[in-house]
């Protein structure tokens, strides 16, 4: 089996069909039996997507004319070959020959791929210098995204852009109803997995290298979950108490839902809502694995539109609401580099309107004296502090409950984590009280 064929098929799903890299990988990796082969294909795909603008620039310098859209599979193969030559410890002759042999029925492409890759080997220094002199290619970011980052975070922009192009670490959330951060760190070490506790969190453990969840001690028994440190703050910021009624809006895949129940197992009720029924299945799987005492059944999982609660809400007000709002996800580009390719500048205004609608709906369901926590995995002010500033101005019964923490930056409203701080994803939180 030529693994580069599978990698090219996955890349075509992203580049041609606009599918997310995660979904494309999920649909193809199951066809590969060996773990090392799956890891190789995944490394190729993530690498090409992460460095896409850079690789595309290099390809443009190597071709007399662009590859036609109908031959995007050939373009994907060439990008795979270039990535191997530029970034991977693959012998150059193997990278060239294996990439050429991955060509299927389009036999004409063999000569093209061979010529392009061999020319790169001859002229790599000059080509790389020209790529590095192009701002879009050297940063592997589209123009609109570079402009947006510089506009909002001028002083920190260089660091954010660099962090976007780094692989994200694998971080665990310890289930404190089963074990402690220190105890589980020791279990990992005894299992030969290098790890350390994250000092700014009582539940987070960062692994030195990513491993299969099957290798994690007692994972199947619910002792830990995979979740970035920044996302783990949500549960504690809600200021949960026993007997409260809690709503988790836009809940899938359920990481924060589970963290809420781990932190406060004596809630009166937890309702988790997501518009996508298929994604709710992930929430069910997570809850079943964790077997949390505060969640006796799965009736609290509702497929519904968060912006239109009249379709699913029973009219009873909530003490606490977590709104993990739909957003541009620009804070998690490290984990989902296809965002740099698939996201468009005009998506932001649409997302802002959706966020506003869901905020309005959530506010109707919150008790007087209740707390709403607004969260996004974005770094754009338009989706974060400006969104909340507008909301506070429009709702006299709302007020900010400041977040005091040793992480993130205090903004005029809320708190912003920029990508890479303490090795975390980019994240924003604002905590609102209702009079």
Task: Specify which residues 231 forms β-bridges with.
Answer: none
Across 84-112, average pLDDT: 93
Tell me whether the omega of the peptide bond preceding residue 281 falls within 30 degrees of 0, making it cis.
no
Residues belonging to the active site? 377
In 352-403, the DSSP E strands lie at 366-376, 398-400
Q: What is the CATH number of domain 235-434?
A: 3.40.50.150
Cα–Cα–Cα angle for 133, 4, 54, nearest 5°?
A: 10
CA distance 11 to 5: 10
CA distance 117 to 119: 5
Q: Predicted confidence band at 1 (pLDDT cuts at 50, 70, 90)? A: confident
Local structure of 93: helix, strand or coil: helix
3-state secondary structure 13-42: HHHCCCCCHHHHHHHHHCCCCCHHHHHHHH
Per the prediction, the chain carries an average pLDDT of 96
CATH 1.10.940.10 segments of the chain: 3-138
pLDDT tens digit string along 41-70? 999 999 999 999 999 999 999 998 999 999
Q: Give the model's pLDDT for residue 258.
A: 96
Structure tokens at 194: 């290098």
Evaluate if residue 104 carries a pLDDT over 70. yes
pLDDT tens digit string along 303-357? 999 999 999 999 999 999 999 999 999 999 999 999 999 999 999 999 999 999 9
CA distance 55 to 230: 31
Strand 171-174 relative to strand 269-274, pairing:
unpaired
Evaluate if residue 89 carries a pLDDT over 90. no
CA distance 166 to 130: 22
58 contacts 82 by C-beta, under 8 angstroms? yes
Task: Specify which residues 320 forms β-bridges with.
Answer: 246, 371
315 membership: H or E segment, kind and range: none
Residues in the chain: 435
CATH class of domain segment(s) 3-138: mainly alpha
CATH 3.40.50.150 segments of the chain: 235-434
Q: Does domain 171-226 have CATH number 3.30.70.260?
A: no
CA distance 178 to 160: 36
Evaluate if residue 173 carries a pLDDT over 70. yes
* φ/ψ (deg, to 5) at 32: -105, 125
CA distance 352 to 343: 14
pTM here? Answer: 0.95
CATH 3.30.70.1170 segments of the chain: 171-226
């Amino acid at each position: 089996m030529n693994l580069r064929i599978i990698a090219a098929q996955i890349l075509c799903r992203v580049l041609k069909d606009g599918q997310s890299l995660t979904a494309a990988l999920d649909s193809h990796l199951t066809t590969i039996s060996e773990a090392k082969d799956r890891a190789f294909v995944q490394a190729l795909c993530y690498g090409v997507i992460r460095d896409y603008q850079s690789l595309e620039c290099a390809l443009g310098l190597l071709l007399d004319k662009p590859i036609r859209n109908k031959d995007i599979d050939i373009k994907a193969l060439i990008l795979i070959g270039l990535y191997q030559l530029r970034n991977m410890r693959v012998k150059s002759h193997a990278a060239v020959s294996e990439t050429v042999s991955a060509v299927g029925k389009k036999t004409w492409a063999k000569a093209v791929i061979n010529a392009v890759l061999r020319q790169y080997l001859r002229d790599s220094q000059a080509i790389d210098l020209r790529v590095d002199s192009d701002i879009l290619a050297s940063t592997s970011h589209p123009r609109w995204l570079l402009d947006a980052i510089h506009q909002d975070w001028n002083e920190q922009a260089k660091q954010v852009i660099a962090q976007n192009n780094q692989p994200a670490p694998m971080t665990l959330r310890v289930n404190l109803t089963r074990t402690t951060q220190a105890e589980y760190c020791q279990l990992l070490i005894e299992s030969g997995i290098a790890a350390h506790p994250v000092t700014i969190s009582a539940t987070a453990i960062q692994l030195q290298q990513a491993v299969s969840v099957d290798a994690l001690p007692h994972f199947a028994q619910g002792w830990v979950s995979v979740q970035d440190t920044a996302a783990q703050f949500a549960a504690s910021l809600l200021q949960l108490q026993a007997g409260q009624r809690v709503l988790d809006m836009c809940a899938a895949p359920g990481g924060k839902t589970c963290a809420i129940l781990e932190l406060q197992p004596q809630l009166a009720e937890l309702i988790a809502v997501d518009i996508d029924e298929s994604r709710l299945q992930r929430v069910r799987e997570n809850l079943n694995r964790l077997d949390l005492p505060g969640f006796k059944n799965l009736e609290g999982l509702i497929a519904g539109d968060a912006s239109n609660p009249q379709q699913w809400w029973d009219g009873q007000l909530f003490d606490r609401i977590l709104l993990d709002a739909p957003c541009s996800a620009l804070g998690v580009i490290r984990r989902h580099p296809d965002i740099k390719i698939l996201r468009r500048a005009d998506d932001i205004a649409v997302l802002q309107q959706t966020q506003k609608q869901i905020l309005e709906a959530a506010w109707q369901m919150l008790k007087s004296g209740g707390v709403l926590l607004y969260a996004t995995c974005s770094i754009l002010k338009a989706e974060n502090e400006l969104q909340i500033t507008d909301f506070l101005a429009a709702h006299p019964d709302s007020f900010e409950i400041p977040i005091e923490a040793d992480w993130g930056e205090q903004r005029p409203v809320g708190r912003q984590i920029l990508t890479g701080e303490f090795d975390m994803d980019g994240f924003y939180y604002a905590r609102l009280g209702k009079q």
